[in-house]
Chain A
Amino acid sequence: MRLLSVVGKRFSRNRLSVIGAVTVLLLLIISILAPFIAPYDPTATDVRHTLSPPSKTHPLGTDELGRDLLSRIIYGSRVSLKVGFVAVGIAIMTGVIIGSISGFYGGVIDAVLMRFVDMMLAFPTFFLILAVISILEQNIFTIMVVIGLTNWMDVARLVRAEFLSLKEKDFVSAARAVGVSDVRLIFRHILPNALSPVFVAATFGVAGAILIESGLSFLGLGVQPPEPSWGNILTAGKDNIEVAWWLSLYPGLAILVTVLSYNLVGEGLRDALDPRLWEAERH
Chain B
Amino acid sequence: MLSYITKRLFLMVPLLFGITLITFTVIHLAPGSPVEVQTEMSLKASAQARENLKKLYGLDKPLHIQYFDWLRRFVRLDFGRSFVDGRKVIDKIIERIPITLTINILSLILIFSVALPIGIISATRQYSLFDKLSTVFVFIGFSTPAFWLALLLMILFGINMGLLPISGIQSIDVSEMGPFERLWDWIKHLILPVGVSAFGGVAGLSRYSRSSMLEVIRQDYIRTAMAKGLTEPEVVFKHAFRNALMPIVTILGLSVPGLIGGGVIFETIFAIPGMGQLFYSSTMARDYPTIMGILVIGAVLTLFGNLIADISYAFVDPRVRVSKK
Q: Which of B31, B159, B283 contacts A131 (CB 8 A)?
A: B283
* Shortest Cβ distance from A214 into B: residue: B145
Q: Which of B29, B268, B283, B298 contacts A124 (CB 8 A)?
A: B298
Q: Which of A76-126 contact B (CB under 8 A)?
A: 115-116, 118-124, 126
Say yes or no: is B194 at the interface (Cβ < 8 Å to chain A). no
Binary flags per residue of A232-252, CB closer than 8 Å to B gives 1, else 0: 001001100110010011011
Q: How far is the CA of A119 from the CA of B298 in the complex (A)?
A: 12
Instruction: Please tell me if the beta carbons of B30 and A135 are within 8 angstroms of each other in the complex.
Output: yes
Distance to closest chain B CB from A47 (angstroms): 25
Say yes or no: is A255 at the interface (Cβ < 8 Å to chain B). yes
Distance to closest chain B CB from A146 (angstroms): 11
Instruction: Please tell me if the beta carbons of B147 and A218 are within 8 angstroms of each other in the complex.
Output: yes
Q: Which of A26-85 contact B (CB under 8 A)?
A: none
Say yes or no: is B26 at the interface (Cβ < 8 Å to chain A). yes
Determine chain B's interface SS by DSSP, over half rule. helix
Binary flags per residue of B10-37, CB closer than 8 Å to A gives 1, else 0: 0000110011001000100111000000
Instruction: Please tell me if the beta carbons of B155 and A128 are within 8 angstroms of each other in the complex.
Output: no
Say yes or no: is B171 at the interface (Cβ < 8 Å to chain A). no
Size range of the chain B interface in the assembly = 35 or more
Instruction: Please tell me if the beta carbons of A234 and B147 are within 8 angstroms of each other in the complex.
Output: yes
Q: How far is the CA of A16 from the CA of B22 in the complex (A)?
A: 42
Say yes or no: is A181 at the interface (Cβ < 8 Å to chain B). no
Instruction: Please tell me if the beta carbons of B295 and A234 are within 8 angstroms of each other in the complex.
Output: no
Binary flags per residue of B149-189, CB closer than 8 Å to A gives 1, else 0: 10110110001000000100000000000000000000000
Instruction: Please tell me if the beta carbons of B264 and A127 are within 8 angstroms of each other in the complex.
Output: yes
Distance to closest chain A CB from B210 (angstroms): 14
Instruction: Please tell me if the beta carbons of A135 and B26 are within 8 angstroms of each other in the complex.
Output: yes
Contacts of B151 in A (CB 8 A): 234, 237-238, 241, 248, 252
Say yes or no: is B110 at the interface (Cβ < 8 Å to chain A). no
Q: How far is the CA of A263 from the CA of B207 in the complex (A)?
A: 14
* Shortest Cβ distance from A243 into B: residue: B159
Binary flags per residue of B288-316, CB closer than 8 Å to A gives 1, else 0: 00011011001110110010000000000
Contacts of B31 in A (CB 8 A): 135
Instruction: Please tell me if the beta carbons of A248 and B148 are within 8 angstroms of each other in the complex.
Output: yes
Say yes or no: is A211 at the interface (Cβ < 8 Å to chain B). yes
Instruction: Please tell me if the beta carbons of B302 and A248 are within 8 angstroms of each other in the complex.
Output: no
Instruction: Please tell me if the beta carbons of B139 and A123 are within 8 angstroms of each other in the complex.
Output: no
Contacts of B56 in A (CB 8 A): none
Distance to closest chain B CB from A223 (angstroms): 15
Contacts of B166 in A (CB 8 A): 241
Binary flags per residue of A127-153, CB closer than 8 Å to B gives 1, else 0: 110111111100000000000000000
Instruction: Please tell me if the beta carbons of A234 and B148 are within 8 angstroms of each other in the complex.
Output: yes
Instruction: Please tell me if the beta carbons of B26 and A119 are within 8 angstroms of each other in the complex.
Output: no
Q: Which of B159, B257, B269, B302 contacts A242 (CB 8 A)?
A: B159
Q: How far is the CA of A132 from the CA of B29 in the complex (A)?
A: 8
* Shortest Cβ distance from B304 into A: residue: A122
Instruction: Please tell me if the beta carbons of A263 and B143 are within 8 angstroms of each other in the complex.
Output: yes
Say yes or no: is B80 at the interface (Cβ < 8 Å to chain A). no
Instruction: Please tell me if the beta carbons of A123 and B302 are within 8 angstroms of each other in the complex.
Output: yes
Binary flags per residue of B113-151, CB closer than 8 Å to A gives 1, else 0: 000000000000000000000000001101111011101
Q: Which of A215-267 contact B (CB under 8 A)?
A: 215, 218-221, 234, 237-238, 241-242, 245, 248-249, 251-252, 255-256, 259-260, 263-264, 267
Q: How far is the CA of A242 from the CA of B22 in the complex (A)?
A: 43
Say yes or no: is A207 at the interface (Cβ < 8 Å to chain B). yes
Q: How far is the CA of A249 from the CA of B145 in the complex (A)?
A: 12
Q: Which of B148, B269, B286, B306 contacts A134 (CB 8 A)?
A: B286
Instruction: Please tell me if the beta carbons of B145 and A134 are within 8 angstroms of each other in the complex.
Output: no
Instruction: Please tell me if the beta carbons of B145 and A215 are within 8 angstroms of each other in the complex.
Output: yes
Contacts of A259 in B (CB 8 A): 142-145
Instruction: Please tell me if the beta carbons of A119 and B18 are within 8 angstroms of each other in the complex.
Output: yes
Instruction: Please tell me if the beta carbons of A123 and B299 are within 8 angstroms of each other in the complex.
Output: yes
Q: How far is the CA of A211 from the CA of B146 in the complex (A)?
A: 9
Distance to closest chain B CB from A123 (angstroms): 5
Q: Which of B18, B29, B294 gathers most chain A CB within 10 Å?
A: B18
* Shortest Cβ distance from A216 into B: residue: B265
Q: List 20 A-B contacts (CB under 8 A).
A: A16-B139, A115-B18, A116-B18, A119-B299, A124-B299, A130-B264, A130-B279, A130-B280, A134-B283, A134-B286, A135-B31, A215-B145, A219-B265, A219-B280, A241-B155, A252-B149, A255-B145, A256-B143, A259-B143, A259-B145
A interface residues (Cβ-Cβ under 8 A, vs B): 16, 115-116, 118-124, 126-128, 130-136, 207, 211, 214-215, 218-221, 234, 237-238, 241-242, 245, 248-249, 251-252, 255-256, 259-260, 263-264, 267
Q: 8 nearest interchain CB pairs?
A: A252-B148, A260-B143, A259-B143, A134-B283, A119-B18, A248-B151, A122-B299, A122-B302
Q: A118-B15, A215-B265 are known contacts; what are 9 more A-B pairs with Cβ within 8 Å?
A: A122-B299, A123-B19, A131-B292, A134-B286, A136-B29, A215-B147, A248-B155, A255-B148, A256-B140
